[in-house]
A and B are shown apart, each in its own frame.
Chain A
């Protein structure tokens, strides 16, 4: 997991609520990423950010929002517009053209 932390480890959301997942890294990496993983499947990119105050949509950005106010932090908000939010959410970071390193993940369940 390196120097990437995600919190909380487990999160429960009621329908209609927005929730925010935290991702922090102390690796001095410029780029950060959010992925979603459904059971038995690979990872799908939600949003990514290459530098502070800039971010781009990934393949499945609808119903999600992000911010990148600090280099170390890249929080993800799952909004009520995301109709099927139950999944395992993974944050990653990278520097230059090197590999992405992942955090331990947050498991989100809709009640």
Chain B
């Protein structure tokens, strides 16, 4: 079956540095990928998405990169701030007749002052 995984379960960065969160996916037929941010006790918050016909997409302070050759997805956060502390999930939309997301385990991002 399809699966989405993460290279690192935790990531600690200095405030002001850039953060890079990685994700591997296994289903080469997936055509849509989403990054979510989840703070403790809250629902996931949509950050940015990318379709398989693109390899890069930028938002406000965030960039998502997609490498279909090695089935790898990354989220880059520029100038990391304390408010960026959260668990970040990548999700893969498996096209099986309906939009169905498969989530990775998540990466916890902590910011050091």
Q: Which A positions have Cβ atoms within 8 angstroms of B?
A: 1, 4, 6, 31, 33, 40-45, 48, 50, 56, 58, 90, 92, 94, 97, 99-105, 107
Contacts and interface: CB of A to CB of B under 8 A. Distances in A.
Contact of A99 (B43, B49, B103, B106): B49
Contacts, number: 55
Contacts of B42: 1, 104-105
Secondary structure dominating the interface of A: strand
B46 A101 contact: yes
B103 A43 contact: yes
Contact of B105 (A31, A41, A48, A97): A41
Interface string B77-102: 00000000000010000000011110
B101 A100 contact: yes
Contact of A50 (B46, B98, B103, B106): B98
Given A1-B43, A42-B106, A100 B89 contact: no
A97 B32 contact: yes
Given A90-B44, A105-B42, A97 B99 contact: yes
B45 interface: yes
A48 B104 contact: no
Contacts of A104: 42-43
Contacts of A101: 46
B95 to A, nearest CB: 10
B101 A90 contact: no
16 contacts: A1-B42, A42-B4, A42-B103, A42-B105, A42-B106, A43-B44, A45-B100, A45-B101, A50-B98, A90-B43, A94-B99, A97-B32, A99-B49, A100-B34, A100-B46, A102-B43
